[in-house]
A and B are shown apart, each in its own frame.
Chain A
Amino acid sequence: QVQLVQSGAEVKKLGSSVKISCKASGGTFSRFAINWVRQAPGQGLEWMGEIIPLFASTNHAEKFQGRVTMTADESTSTAYMELTSLTSDDTAVYYCAKVGEGYYYHSSGYSYGDAFDIWGQGTMVSVSS
C-alpha cells in the first residue's frame, strides 16, 4: 500500500520561500505522477501542479508561473515543491497526491485519465510579516 508522508509545518516571512517534501513508501516511485494541491483556511482545493519522474516532466497552474518548482529525488522516493516570493495569500495547507496508476501520459508533459488516489497528510504553511 502506497503512503505519502509530508514534511512538517512551516512559518515563513513575506517574500521568502518554502520547500515541502513528500516521501513515498511502497510502489514504484518513478512511475508516480505526484500532484500538489493547496487549501487556504476555510477554502476549497486548488490544483497547483504535477511532476512525473519517469518522463522528467512537470506542469503547473498558470497562476504559479515563475514561483513554483517541483522536483523529485528517485533515490529517496521523495517529491518536493518549492514556492517563492510568498505572500499572505499563500497561507494554506499544501497536499501532495498521487495519481492512480491507470493514468495516461500526454506528450505535452502531463498525466490524465486517473484520479488522485493517495494523499499526503498535508503541510501547513503560514506566511506573515
Chain B
Amino acid sequence: EIVLTQSPGTLSLSPGERATLSCRASQSVSSSYLAWYQQKPGQAPRLLIYGVSRRATGIPDRFSGSGSGTDFTLTISRLEPEDFAVYYCQQYDDSPPHTFGQGTKLEI
C-alpha cells in the first residue's frame, strides 16, 4: 500500500501570496497517477489536478501541479479568498487502495 504524507499540516498565508503544498509517497507512483482535491467546510471534495499536472474542468490556472516518482507539489500562484480550504493528494496507481494523504489546511 502506498502511503502519502502531506506537508505542512497547516499553512498560514494571506490573499495574493503563493502557496506551495507537498505530497510525498512511500514508493514511486507509476504513470503519474497522482491527483489533488480541494475541500471546503461542509462540502464534498472537488478534483483540482489529475495526472500530476492536468487541471480538471473549470479549475483556474493559478492552480498547478508538478512532481514525479515520490515527490509532488501543488502550487497556487496567487491566493484568492476562496482558496482557503483543505487540500488532499491521492494516488490512483495500478492497484488499490487508492490512498489519500492526510491533508493540508490552508488558512488565512
The number of chain A residues touching the other chain, given as a range, is 20 to 34
Question: Is the pair A119, B45 in contact by a Cβ cutoff of 8 Å?
Answer: yes
Choose among B44, B46, B50, B95 the residue that contacts A106 (Cβ–Cβ < 8 A).
B95
Task: Give the residues in chain A near B56, CB-CB below 8 Å.
Answer: 115, 117
Q: Nearest chain B CB to A92's CB is how many angstroms away?
A: 13
Given A106-B94, A115-B92, A116-B35, is A47 in contact with B44 using a C-beta cutoff of 8 Å? no
Q: Residues 98-115 of chain A: 1 if any B CB is under 8 Å from the residue's CB, otherwise 0? A: 011000101010101111
Q: Residues 41-79 of chain B: 1 if any A CB is under 8 Å from the residue's CB, otherwise 0? A: 000111100110000100000000000000000000000
The residue of chain A having its C-beta at the shortest distance from the C-beta of B101 within the complex is A44
Per the bound structure, the CA–CA distance linking A37 and B97 in Å amounts to 11
Per the bound structure, the CA–CA distance linking A59 and B103 in Å amounts to 24
Instruction: Mark out the residues of chain B between 85 and 108 whose CB falls within 8 Å of any chain A CB in the assembled complex.
Output: 88, 90, 92-103
Chain B residues bordering chain A, tally (CB within 8 A)? 26
Per the bound structure, the CA–CA distance linking A59 and B92 in Å amounts to 14
Given A44-B88, A44-B102, A45-B45, is A114 in contact with B94 using a C-beta cutoff of 8 Å? no
Decide if A95 is an interface residue (CB 8 Å cutoff). yes
Question: Is the pair A47, B100 in contact by a Cβ cutoff of 8 Å?
Answer: yes
Decide if A46 is an interface residue (CB 8 Å cutoff). yes
Per the bound structure, the CA–CA distance linking A89 and B105 in Å amounts to 23
Question: Is the pair B100, A44 in contact by a Cβ cutoff of 8 Å?
Answer: yes
Enumerate chain A interface residues (CB-CB to B < 8 A). 35, 37, 44-47, 49-50, 59-62, 95, 97, 99-100, 104, 106, 108, 110, 112-117, 119-122
